[in-house]
Amino acid sequence: MAGKIQLVFLDRDGVINRRPAGRRFVTCWREFEFLPGVAEAIHLLNQHSVWVIVATNQRGISMGLYSESDLQDIHSRMQQALGTKGARLDGIYYCPHAPGECECRKPYTGLFEQALRHLPPIDRADILVIGDSDTDMVAAHRFGCRRILVGLDRDSASITLANKGISVGFSCESLLEAVKGYILR
């Protein structure tokens, strides 16, 4: 039986920040926009001693749209901005590869496995993945942990998942709703 959530993996784009209109990638800090309630949600997780790790696919690097240095700048500024609101990420793991080039890119579980090598032992039943796509949920399913689908487009992702025989534990509009309505209920 699953116990208290000890670790939450967050997808970045669509969970923490808004995807740019008409584009698929955030390429620099000026394009980064936090979604409402994100800092509060992460702060609540921090207060309840839950590890918070970002696991994000960043294929734009392999496409030459931005560099790993650009991504590091975005993540550094993201951490600083969260810190001003009392929120903290315990790690950020990213896959810079194109599909089919690696085992770290979601829907594979390599990013999760990398993170667990740096943490104390945690039962997978006490791990939760929060994402906005079927790719995030497939990775969570393969990893054997709980999953929450967030975002405005979650209905189409739910249909895709149902066709793959994968259920989602909880579905809601935002990270803050996921934290308040599922994790801390």
Annotated catalytic residue 123: no
Among candidate residues 11, 132, 134, 136, the one labeled active-site is 11
* Contacts within 8 Å (CB) and 24+ apart, 111-115: 111/9, 111/55, 111/56, 111/139, 112/9, 112/55, 112/139, 112/143, 112/145, 115/9, 115/53, 115/55, 115/91
Among candidate residues 13, 132, 134, 136, the one labeled active-site is 13
Residue 145 tokens read as 């942990």
CB-based contact 9:127 (threshold 8 Å): yes
Annotated catalytic residue 13: yes
Task: Supply the DSSP string of 104-129, one letter for each residue.
Answer: SSTTSSHHHHHHHTTS----GGGEEE
- The alpha helices in 21-91, defined as continuous H runs, are 38-47, 68-83
Calpha distance 46→52 (Å, rounded):
7
Calpha distance 110→94 (Å, rounded):
10
Residues with catalytic function: 11, 13
